[in-house]
A and B are shown apart, each in its own frame.
Chain A
Amino acid sequence: MWRESKCEREREKMANKQISQMGLPKSIANVFAARNVFTAKALSLMELRVQNEHLAGHLPTHMKGLDEALCGGIPFGVLTELVGPAGIGKTQFCLKLSLLASLPAIYGGLDGHVMYIDVESKFSSRRLIEIGVKSFPEIFQRKEMAQEMAGRIHVLQPASLSEFTESLQQIKVSLLQNQVKLLVIDSMAALVTGEFEHGAPRQNTLGWHVSFIKSLAEFSRIPVVVTNQVRSQSRDETCHYFFQVQSWNETIEDRTRHDSHLVAALGINWAHAVTIRLVLEAKSGQRFIKVAKSPISPPLAFPFNITSSGILLLSDDGIELTGPDINAIHCQGHNDIINFGGESLQ
């Protein structure tokens, strides 16, 4: 069904341009334009991005090892997920990214606006400015710079799932006006907890939202960063197929492992839907950021600390983890880190 709003017409223009380049017969081209199907040759995709986009479509995180692993930084047009236990540093990562996206291009930023959807009211503007001042002292020396950068970050705090849905629709409009360069949703899991949504949560509550956010990311070619929570793995959850035979010893081992194992919330459906999954965990008292799922990166883990200027990688050469351990989320010695004085936040 055709809706004659401005944003639909804009999208139609975009789609028509792509279709006409393909040289399809007029009748078919019109059918496709009506359905908004994007089609291209893989080569032309690459050429377009290299020519038109910042670093061929990546937002550098200023963490050298991670940027190299991700071929330049957080990629445009796809969903990147940050998952980890509470207090590990997901919101800190998001704050840093928001700042980086708002910086002018000469400082490596995207020179754009940021939509920050803060579901759990964790956004701290004080902390944001502190990160800015400590990481880019030369820019933030002048007070009006801080005001301008912070002025580009729009924080939404939806009080219910329906408000969140509405915000997404509004974001679509501002995306088409080409101003927003980064979308952060912190956190996705909080949207489906009992307190947030009234009534019993359905199996696939976020199904529509996931598809919508993904298509938003693609049509506007912006990076979308979403945070996720963890939950403990119950005994019932094996991860085996019918043809995989498990010996009795293995079963016992698995049970003891499960007690300390955490898994990402939102289920396996969500795990399929995200393109890049970055796992933040604590192992033996040290925090790690792992590239758990990525079509363009090897499975690397980087140790990191939280400092006054954001996140600092302790080593730019990641440790390569083979096997499914890259997906595991550990939480050992984490409490010690939280209570440790260490780098005090002024």
Chain B
Amino acid sequence: MEVGRLPISASQRSKLIAAGYTTLSSFSSLSPSHLARDLKISDNEAAEIMRVASHSHRLDGSAGGCGTVNGAQTAWDMLHEEEMFPRITTSCEDLDNILGGGINCKEVTEIGGVPGIGKTQLGIQLAINVQIPVDYGGLGGKAIYIDTEGSFMVERALQIAEACIEDMSECGGLLRKDFQACQLKMHPNNILENIFYFRVCSYTEQIALINYLDKFISEHKDVKIVIVDSVTFHFRQDFDDMALRTRLLSGMALKLMKLAKDFSLAVVLLNQVTTKYIDGSFQLTLALGDSWSHSCTNRVILYWNGNERYAYIDKSPSLRSASAPYSVTSKGIRNSASNCKRIKMM
């Protein structure tokens, strides 16, 4: 049974989720003082939560009937779980709209495009936006940035972090929230400190690192997004055995999907493009081949449309195909400057 259905206050619920407890079973065996320490609340409050939890569990015991298979979850429970996690905004309203609010946790999203379209920019923006505090509608989490190409530039991350804080203070002013308390926490240096940066230089390191992430994230439970920039690079240079490549890639994809599900975080994979000869002409497609294209839950393609940058939802189980314009500014990813912001539905 999950935390979303407990009759407790919203702040208590968000504290439970932020500490990594999404189901009843994850904390029901703890002592109240342990829970109090983890959530930073008083012992009495923790004991109250546990009492409410065990009470609800007893009431709900019959709901699991129908000889449930161990480990299965009903669709209703899954829906509630999905609603518990806010999506990670991209700072561009149009882009967020076609993504259903932003990048979703518990899913693997692949984003690909030609060089210079803004993939790394989007990656850095997401690494910073995941840190937006819960009070401002964000996740208040940390980010892991796996850099395979060396395209992560710290100066740019600092620039985007400063712009994000500026935007939040404007927002806070409008909503008359207590920004003072927030300001102490949200300094650009703190934002940079919450980005765990890994640099891998070969495909073996890339695979080793993804295997290691399991352990790393269980020690850093507040990581809410893993960005790999780019997942393609080491698999395109000098790989002779294509069958091996396909096996390695699918193994990696499965591990990443498991990570996303087990720890309820978002996985964003940035991909490159290649040309393919289809129907008598060369067309652009995302790299790594056809079997890889099945591996990700969602697929977004960034492309040039005239003089503007657009994003297109190529594949998603829950979102419809749509394009939206966005722009890359000195502050990061933002809405496109053009006046007519039409979202083309296909």
Q: What does the 1/0 interface line of B23-37 toward A look like (CB < 8 Å)? A: 000000000000000
Kindly specify which of A105-113, A162-170, A232-240 makes contact with the partner chain.
A232-240
Instruction: Say if the beta carbon of A296 comes within 8 Å of chain B.
Output: yes
How long is the Cα–Cα vector from A273 to B215 in the complex, in angstroms? 31
A-B contact count (CB 8 A): 157
Q: What does the 1/0 interface line of B317-346 toward A look like (CB < 8 Å)? A: 000010000000010000000000000001
Instruction: Say if the beta carbon of B179 comes within 8 Å of chain A.
Output: no
How long is the Cα–Cα vector from A209 to B86 in the complex, in angstroms? 43
Nearest-Cβ distance from residue A85 to partner chain B, whole angstroms: 20
Q: What does the 1/0 interface line of B223-248 toward A look like (CB < 8 Å)? A: 00000001011101111000000000
Beta-carbon contact of B121 and A295 below 8 Å:
yes
Kindly specify which of B75-83, B166-174, B195-203 makes contact with the partner chain.
B195-203
Kindly specify which of A71-79, A144-152, A306-314, A330-338 makes contact with the partner chain.
A71-79
The 3 closest A-B pairs by CB, nearest first: A323-B307, A207-B237, A207-B238
Instruction: Say if the beta carbon of B97 comes within 8 Å of chain A.
Output: no
Kindly specify which of A31-39, A117-125, A183-191 makes contact with the partner chain.
A31-39
Q: What does the 1/0 interface line of A19-57 toward B look like (CB < 8 Å)? A: 000000000100110011111111101100100000010
Beta-carbon contact of B192 and A275 below 8 Å:
no
Q: Which residues of B contact A269 (CB under 8 A)?
A: 236, 272, 274
Chain A residues with a Cβ closer than 8 Å to the other chain, count: 58
Q: Which residues of A contact B236 (CB under 8 A)?
A: 204, 207, 269
Q: CB-nearest residue of chain A relative to B188?
A: A43
Instruction: Say if the beta carbon of B183 comes within 8 Å of chain A.
Output: no
Beta-carbon contact of A298 and B274 below 8 Å:
no
Q: Which residues of A contact B346 (CB under 8 A)?
A: 243
Instruction: Say if the beta carbon of B295 comes within 8 Å of chain A.
Output: no
* CB under 8 Å from chain A, chain B span 160-201: 189, 192-201
Q: What size tier do the contact residues of chain B reach? A: 35 or more
Nearest-Cβ distance from residue B192 to partner chain A, whole angstroms: 4
Beta-carbon contact of B115 and A38 below 8 Å:
no
Beta-carbon contact of A241 and B303 below 8 Å:
yes
Contact partner of B204 (CB less than 8 A), chosen from A35, A218, A237, A244, is A35
Nearest-Cβ distance from residue B196 to partner chain A, whole angstroms: 6
Beta-carbon contact of A272 and B272 below 8 Å:
yes
What are 25 A-B interface contacts by the 8 Å CB criterion?
A35-B204, A35-B208, A37-B198, A43-B192, A45-B197, A77-B150, A79-B150, A204-B237, A207-B237, A210-B237, A211-B201, A211-B238, A218-B150, A218-B199, A236-B282, A238-B282, A240-B283, A268-B114, A269-B274, A272-B232, A295-B121, A295-B153, A296-B159, A323-B304, A324-B307
Instruction: Say if the beta carbon of A277 comes within 8 Å of chain B.
Output: yes
Given contacts A39-B196, A71-B155, A326-B116, 19 further A-B contacts (CB under 8 A): A41-B196, A42-B145, A49-B154, A77-B150, A78-B150, A78-B153, A208-B237, A218-B199, A241-B301, A243-B301, A268-B115, A268-B275, A269-B272, A271-B114, A293-B115, A295-B151, A296-B153, A322-B307, A324-B304
Instruction: Say if the beta carbon of A215 comes within 8 Å of chain B.
Output: yes
Nearest-Cβ distance from residue A90 to partner chain B, whole angstroms: 19
How long is the Cα–Cα vector from A132 to B285 in the complex, in angstroms? 47
Instruction: Say if the beta carbon of A182 comes within 8 Å of chain B.
Output: no
Given A217-B150, A239-B284, A324-B304, are A277 and B116 neighbors across the interface (CB < 8 Å)? yes
Instruction: Say if the beta carbon of A248 comes within 8 Å of chain B.
Output: no
Q: CB-nearest residue of chain B relative to A326?
A: B116
Q: CB-nearest residue of chain A relative to B330?
A: A298
Nearest-Cβ distance from residue A9 to partner chain B, whole angstroms: 18
* CB under 8 Å from chain A, chain B span 94-131: 114-116, 120-121
Q: What does the 1/0 interface line of A260-297 toward B look like (CB < 8 Å)? A: 00000000110111110100000000000000110110
